Amino acid sequence: MAKRQLFDNPADFEPLLPEDRDGRLVALGLELLRRAERLRGTLQPVTRRSVAALVRSMNSYYSNLIEGHRTMPRDIDAALAHKFSSDTKRRALQQLHVAHVETQDWMEAAVDKMSAAQICSGVFLRHIHREFYERLPASLCQVEGHDGKKHPVQPGELRTTEVSVGHHVPPASKHLDKFLRRFADFYGPLVQPTPQGFVAAAAAHHRLAWIHPFLDGNGRVTRLFTHAWLRKVEADADGLWTLSRGFARDQTNYRAALANADEKRLNDLDGRGYLTDRGLAAFCEFTLRTALDQLDFMRELLDLDGMARRIAWFAQRHESTGELPSGAALVLREIFLRGEIPRGDVARIAGVSPRTGQTITRELLKRRLVLSDSAKRPIRLGFPADAAGHYFPNLFPAGAE
């Protein structure tokens, strides 16, 4: 079999944007903009930040799931509290999860201080990779090569060897800098809160995966990069939704769309670049429709009346069994609606004495159903695994307990 030629010229991954003659992709981008803005206004700001923290954890769960790693929500809870399993496999999954969450947390803070164009820079992409892998033990910083041997993954370093991904052979390692410069020069100016900007974000997702700049971790970096783009243009609704959930729930079509966009141009009706325009357009449409589906899912899930009912139902059920003191349901519902409450309001809301109010507060804090920054600060909602599954049905796949 003839050896496949490695890509060595940035022209090899043209087109970088698909043709959109009928305006279908731009129309989807416009709808994404509208729905993201509607989602942003669904919750009180303090509650919104708490839900965003849960969604950040969910993003890690689904991004890792795409890579074939499934972590149970209870293990996630324990890991975020720095309580790791003694079982080697479960501990490794917990470490992957925490590394992803902390990397996204770092990335979001960094993005807020960066210019839009910097999102697409090779420097930023390498920082994402470095932040993730520096948080992992050495045993998780290695990948098995085609030779069957384990090769170390250097945090933040571009690959120096040649690889293949399915039928796709990414660019030659010695030319990666050229491809990444072209990537940044083209996509950087397109990081804008416009319908065309969202089409570009979808196209950039594929083209970064196509470049495959790192020895390992390219999928995670690509999904984090796309999240960074959406955050910079304020389309992440303050962190209330994630594309990774949609990609993970439709992995077969996600992987097929990625692979189809890898193909060479079919004929003279398939664009003017070396790669298929139709395949890239189809991937962009798949990505934008996945985004709209996830925006709709979260908007329905975060409906005020529905959320308030589910929170109250969860607490009332635990009151009936004696696991929570009477009045807890009223307190949790009020916190959800107001975002946070002073501790002194608990007794009034529950209709009990101040001493009993303190008991309710202690129990809610113990179970992490409410959180507080200090012993005298207001309390706000927490989302431990046993409650999150009831507050947010279908947030995690069936069977994830």
Mean pLDDT across the chain: 93
Pairing verdict, β 340-341 and 142-144: unpaired
Percent of the chain's residues with pLDDT above 90: 83
CATH number of 304-391: 1.10.10.10
Q: Residue 272 has what pLDDT? A: 87
In terms of CATH, what superfamily is 10-301? Fido-like domain (1.10.3290.10)
Residue 386's pLDDT band, with cuts at 50, 70 and 90, is confident
Q: Residue 398 has what pLDDT? A: 55
Weakest-pLDDT range from 64-73, 225-234, 255-264: 64-73
Q: If we measure between CA atoms, which residue out of 176, 146, 156, 174 comes closest to residue 217?
A: 156
DSSP letter assigned to residue 17: S
Q: Which whole number is the average pLDDT over 356-375?
A: 95
Q: Which whole number is the average pLDDT over 303-330?
A: 95
Q: Is the pLDDT of residue 193 over 60?
A: yes
The residues with which 25 forms a beta bridge, in sequence order, are none
List Cβ neighbours of 398 (8 Å cut-off, separation of 6 or more).
none
Q: Residue 71 has what pLDDT? A: 87
Q: Residue 170 has what pLDDT? A: 94
Q: Residue 77 has what pLDDT? A: 87
C-alpha distances (whole Å) from 167 to each of 16, 164, 263 are: 20, 7, 9
CB of 372 closer than 8 Å to CB of 382: no
CB of 240 closer than 8 Å to CB of 52: yes
Q: Is the pLDDT of residue 27 over 70?
A: yes
C-alpha distances (whole Å) from 330 to each of 5, 95, 197, 317, 320 are: 67, 37, 44, 13, 14
Helix (H) or strand (E) holding 371: strand 370-371
| pTM, two decimal places | 0.93
Q: Residue 2 has what pLDDT? A: 41
Q: Which whole number is the average pLDDT over 54-75?
A: 91
Q: Which whole number is the average pLDDT over 100-121?
A: 97
Q: Is 280 helix (H, G, I), strand (E, B) or coil?
A: helix
Alpha carbons 59 and 65: distance in angstroms, whole number: 10
Domain ranges of the chain: 10-301, 304-391
